[in-house]
Amino acid sequence: MIKNDLYIKALKGETVERPPVWMMRQAGRFLPEFREMRGKYDFFTRCQTPELASEITMMPIRRFPLDAAILFSDILVVPQAMGIPFEMRDGIGPYLENPIRSAKQVEKIQVPDVSDSLGYVFDAIELTLEKLDNSIPLIGFAGSPWTILCYCIEGKGSKTFDIAKTFCWQNPEAAHSLLQKITDTTIAYLRKKIEKGVSAVQIFDSWGGTLSPADYQTFSYQYIEQIVNALHEISPVVVFGKGCWFALEDMAKSKASALGVDWTITPEMARKLTSNSITLQGNFDPSRLHSSPETIRKMVHEMIDRFGKDKYIVNLGHGILPNIPVENAGAFIQAVIDWKPS
């Protein structure tokens, strides 16, 4: 039994004394111990070495009274396992030297045996669960098929992913074939994570907001829904679509346990669009962690009051920024711990 099960209770929609709190990218560059390790090992070495990934996962847990841990990894380990050789380059970020730009390239991509190609992730889960010792839940995650496709075709990050979108409009059959292969791999990957003992899984659709509502249904959400439908009976599934407020109404009708929301929507609107029928997670603007600890505390308490303490998980509206002061991150978390109903 997990000693602190606030996060699990919130996913189930149960009544809680206060909402649980964790932060996306909480094991990240804002922590000095993470930066120290970054100086010794490159990014994917850290992801692919179970001992390092486990240690990084635990860094924020040792610092803060968080209600959940999230396994340190990256969404691009999935395309890497599919034979798409992403690198992480300084000053660029994710980089693919030969992006996928043709139907022939898509045809050659295989759905791998995840036990073999992603075994290092599952080993990291086992090591981390030992360290957590049932204190708090461990979350596993993956990128949405659309978000993975964006990187595979664009070859690197982009604000608009115009190359990826153009490929989809001009080569819809190849695009859907690639999306399906990513979906099948992701289902197998997350299923194995659940078997290894994570308490919940989250799907990050970081670039869903680049699509129109109609194209979102066609090229993103239908594949996310496949993943949710395949896994919801064996684990809670959280779906976070950045910039995808327009899809919240449809998402709320799915078998997901919770929906992440970013800071561009009010708590009231998010509740209205979802008919208060599902747990929501979010939505503090990450840049607001540059405010004073006193302001952070006030804003967090206001955010909880507006969402309501039940069916709610306190989080940021996206990942924590690398230049956030550690004490401000601590103030955000402590504000949730200290919250009392007004």
Q: Which residues are annotated as a binding site?
A: 25-29, 44, 74, 151, 206, 318
Q: Residue 243 corresponds to which tokens in the numbers above?
A: 């910039």
DSSP states of 169-193: HH-HHHHHHHHHHHHHHHHHHHHHH
How would you classify the pairing of strands 200-205 and 237-241? parallel
Residue 46 annotated as catalytic: no
For the beta carbon of residue 9, count every other beta carbon within 10 angstroms. Answer: 18
What is the number of H-type helices and E-type strands within the chain?
Answer: 17, 9
Distance CA 232, CA 261 (A): 20
Burial 47-66 (b: 16+ CB within 10 A, else e): bbbbebbbbbbbbbbeebeb
Residue 25 annotated as catalytic: yes
Strand arrangement, sheet containing 279-284: 69-70, 138-143, 200-205, 237-241, 258-261, 279-284, 312-316
Nearest Cα neighbor of 273 from 283, 285, 259, 286 is 259
Nearest Cα neighbor of 190 from 241, 222, 143 is 143
Which residue's entry shows tokens 């550690």? 326
CB 285 within 8 A of CB 317: yes
Choosing from 5, 74, 184, 205, which is the catalytic residue? 74
CB 329 within 8 A of CB 38: no
Angle between helices 326-338 and 293-307 (to 10 degrees): 40
Residues that constitute the known binding site for substrate: 25-29, 44, 74, 151, 206, 318
Choosing from 5, 67, 151, 297, which is the catalytic residue? 151
Alpha carbon distances (Å) from 96 to 37, 89, 172, 191, 300? 24, 10, 22, 27, 39
Q: What is the CA radius of gyration of the chain?
A: 19
Distance CA 1, CA 135 (A): 9
Residue 29 annotated as catalytic: yes
Active site residues: 25, 29, 38, 74, 151
